[in-house]
Structures are given as C-alpha cells and as structure tokens.
Amino acid sequence: MDAISVIRAKRDSEELTGDQIDWIIDAYTRGAVADEQMSALAMAVYLNGMSREEIARWTAAMINSGERMDFGSLPRPTTDKHSTGGVGDKITLPLAPLVAACGAAVPQLSGRGLGHTGGTLDKLESIPGWRASLTNAEMMAVLRDPGAVICAAGEGLAPADKRLYALRDVTGTVESLPLIASSIMSKKIAEGTGSLVLDVKTGSGAFMKNAADARELAATMVELGNDHGVRTVALLTDMSTPLGRTAGNALEVRESVEVLAGGGPADVVELTLALAREMLAGAGLTDADPAKALSDGSAMDVWRRMITAQGGDPDAALPRARETHTVQAASSGVLTRLDAYAVGLAAWRLGAGRARKEDPVQAGAGVELHARPGDRVRAGAPLLTLHTDTPDAFPHAEEALKDACEIAPSASYTPTPLILDRIG
C-alpha cells in the first residue's frame, strides 16, 4: 500500500477499505507516512466524510496503535464522562469527586484548552502543586482511594490520535465529524472504563454549532462505544451561553469549589447532577443520590483528597490576575443574549487559552459574568469583569465582546433548556 492511493480514494469520495485504514494509521504512527500526506487525507475526510463502517474501523485502528488500560482489579465499577468542549465548562471538576463519593471509580483522562474552549488540566494546574502527569501505578492508587483521578493521558494511549489531533488543529480539520468521533472514542475505549457518558454540546460556543450535526456526532459516538463493549449514552446540551459565571482557569476552579460546597450557579449544578446520575446508572449504582453527596460534604471530601493525592494543596490561595477591567451595560433592560463564543474568545485573548498546544496560559486570566440571559440590568452597571496580567489585552478582548450582549428594553425572556436531548 501507499499513502497516495489512500488519499486519492478518499479525495474521490470512495469508501476506504479496512486494510487501507489499518495500514495508513499504523504507518502514520510509525512515521512512515508524512504529516503532509496525513494532512491531505484529513482534509479529504473533512470534505467527503466517512461511512459508519469507515469510522468504526478508523477508531479501532487508533485504539490498536497503543496500549489498553485495565481497571479489573479495582473494587469499584468504573465510569467516565467526556465533554466535546465549551466556554465555562468546568463540570468535570465537581463531577468526578461527586461520582466517586457515590461509590464509583472515575478515571477522568482530560486535555488542555485550544482556542476559545478551556481545558480541564489548565484549570487544575492553577492549584499550587497539582500534577497532571501520573504514571499508571499512581493513577491506579488514586482510583483506589479516594476513587477519582483527573489527569493527562499517558503516551502509550492511542498514540495515533495524539499525532493526528495535533495535525488537525493546524490544518483546519478539527470540526470533521468522523475525526472528532474517532478521536474521542479511541481514547475513551482504550482507557478501559466500563461505562461512558458523553456531553455533546451545540451552539455558538461549541465545535458543533448546529444541533443536527451535534446529534449525529452523539449518535455516532454512542454506537462506537457500545460496539466496543463500553456502555455509552450521550446528553445533548446547550452551549449558546457560557456555563456558570466564569470562563478562565483559576476563576472556574473557585466556582467548582462553590458547587462542591453546596452552592454555585444553578446551571452548573443542574448539569453536574444530570451527568452524575447518568454515570452512576451506567456503573450500576442506581440507588446512589448525588444531590445528597453534594449537600452532606462527602463530594467535597473526595475533592480535597483527590487534589492532595496529585500533589496539590486544596487550601492554597488560587492565583488572581494583576489587572481587571469592567464592561458596563450600555442600557437598561433585560439581557436576552450573552454569546458563548464571544466570551470564550475574550478569555482566550486575555491569556486564559492558547493558540498552539505549547503556549503558556495565565492562571488568573478570564471573564467573570455579573448577569446572565433573563436578568434585568441597569445602564452603567457591571456586566462583565475582564481579568489578565497583561492589560494591553483589554482592547482586544473588548473587541471580541462588542456584539456579544443584547439588552431589550422590556422582553419576556424564554430560556433555552440546558439539556436538549438524551441519546442512547
């Protein structure tokens, strides 16, 4: 086989054979196929798509490019969650210890932010001393007690996906449905969890802007998971407005701790509990009550032990940005729209995100929301507070936000449901 014939086949809208897919993934992982050739194939897939059979074989080939983890020795059932990414999406932080407090083991392999979407590891690294990189033995120890771990995937887990994801990010092919589905599911299946809940987001702040595309992605991933023996369901959730009242690393950690303490924004609590119930059902723990675990402090206890087990200090002060700037409401009325993408772009420009995977992030940078759609606001009152260590970024962030908000003099606001559908 050769790369050019595989590229030509997909360029001409042909269905790739199983042998072609197995060969190209293996050869690319070994370095026998050049980045330029894989970029061309990724663009051909982006433009012409893949059949369900091609996506399944592509996913299996990426799983087989590396190791598979085994949690069979753990005394608890395993369950995991994956979000397709959004603005202010700090749900993993309270969710993992909450589900562990209810009796499951949660091996949460997470990533870093790119562009306007935040990364779970970047958020947790704002906690002094916390480590994202663990050996397999360290990960297993934390899964035994306290029962939840949030860490980076090891080098041996789906290495083909690691190479291909970095390539997609710089070639404009991130949004390809087949490549998104196979990227997510190859890592999650190789991870070895017994059940999986997917949070598939749609709206301006999501990669899938269109609800029909998001639903197709969710259905594809649910099918892939179940075909590989991982009990998988998906929630389709709204990402037209940021989750909670913060977008930024340390800002979101603070808000997550508020949720674990029994408070926090209503939408973050709602989605955390909904995902927790799905994860516990997948693990067979249907009698567990996650709302009780939030209110009685047991989820907070697991959080503190989890952070400590990974080298962090749960009592340490979180970083704060050196500079802040307030964006005021231009008029009085009802806030009817607060665009998630614009807020995420502003947070990125303030230093909370990165343009390339090797770029540093500012722990204290981000955007704080003082109002959400449906709230009544007064002209001149604080609407948003921008946080950064680099005040030169304020004008660029404000530019991103110039059309983000709509205020109606008087309006009967009808909120969009946070959870739009359940698939699986």
Query: How far, CA to CA in Å, does 93 sit from each of 104, 119, 264, 285?
Result: 16, 11, 13, 21
Quick: pLDDT tens for 273-323. 999 999 999 999 999 999 999 999 999 999 999 999 999 999 999 999 999
Measured CA to CA, the distance from residue 42 to residue 24 in angstroms comes to 12
285: Cβ–Cβ under 8 A, 6 or more apart, which residues?
77, 102, 103, 104
What is the three-class DSSP state of 22? helix
For residue 170, pLDDT beyond 90: no
Measured CA to CA, the distance from residue 207 to residue 226 in angstroms comes to 24
For residue 199, pLDDT beyond 90: yes
305 included as an active-site residue: no
Q: E strands within 89-222?
A: 106-110, 148-152, 195-202
Quick: pLDDT tens for 258-277. 999 999 999 999 999 999 99
Measured CA to CA, the distance from residue 17 to residue 97 in angstroms comes to 43
For residue 175, pLDDT beyond 90: no
Return the residue matching tokens 């202010």.
88
Quick: pLDDT tens for 65-113. 999 999 999 999 999 999 999 999 999 999 999 999 999 999 999 988 7
176 included as an active-site residue: no
Residue of 187, 201, 277, 305 marked catalytic: 187
pLDDT for 178 equals: 96
Residue of 89, 122, 161, 199 marked catalytic: 161
What is 323-408's CATH number, 3.50.50.60, 3.90.1170.30, 3.10.450.50, 1.10.287.130? 3.90.1170.30
For residue 355, pLDDT beyond 80: no
Say if domain 3-49 classifies as CATH 1.20.970.10. yes
Quick: pLDDT tens for 323-337. 999 999 999 999 999
Residue 54's pLDDT band (cuts 50, 70, 90): very high
187 included as an active-site residue: yes
11 included as an active-site residue: no
332 included as an active-site residue: no
List beta partners, residue 117: 114
Tokens representing 266?
């209503």
Angle subtended at Cα 409 by Cα 406 and Cα 410, rounded to the nearest 5 degrees? 105
Phi, psi of 108 (to 5 degrees): -90, 100
Residue of 110, 183, 204, 256 marked catalytic: 183
pTM of the model: 0.94
Q: What is the DSSP string of 225-270?
A: HHHTT-EEEEEEEE-SS-STTEEEHHHHHHHHHHHHTT-S-HHHHH
Q: Which of 37, 50, 38, 39 is nearest to 10 (CA)?
A: 50
Tokens representing 351?
């230093």
Are 142 and 136 within 8 A, CB to CB? no
Measured CA to CA, the distance from residue 223 to residue 225 in angstroms comes to 5
Q: Which of 196, 203, 202, 199 is nearest to 230 (CA)?
A: 196
Cis bond upstream, residue 146 (ω within 30)? yes
Return the residue matching tokens 């540093």.
360
Give the domain ranges of the chain.
3-49, 79-153+170-309, 323-408
Of residues 144 and 166, more confidence is placed in 144
214: Cβ–Cβ under 8 A, 6 or more apart, which residues?
84, 200, 201, 202, 206, 208, 236
Please count the CA atoms within 13 angstroms of the CA of 98 that sit on its side-chain side: 30
What is the three-class DSSP state of 186? helix
pLDDT for 50 equals: 97
| Overall average pLDDT of the 121-141 stretch | 96
CA torsion 318-323-329-334 (nearest 10°) is: -10
Residue of 168, 188, 215, 231 marked catalytic: 168
Tokens representing 415?
């909120």
| Overall average pLDDT of the 208-236 stretch | 96
Are 129 and 311 within 8 A, CB to CB? yes
| Overall average pLDDT of the 117-133 stretch | 95
What is the three-class DSSP state of 49? coil
Measured CA to CA, the distance from residue 42 to residue 26 in angstroms comes to 15
Residue of 10, 82, 163, 305 marked catalytic: 82
Q: Which CATH class is domain 79-153+170-309?
A: alpha beta
Q: Do domains 79-153+170-309 and 323-408 have the same CATH topology?
A: no
Average pLDDT of the residues of the chain: 95
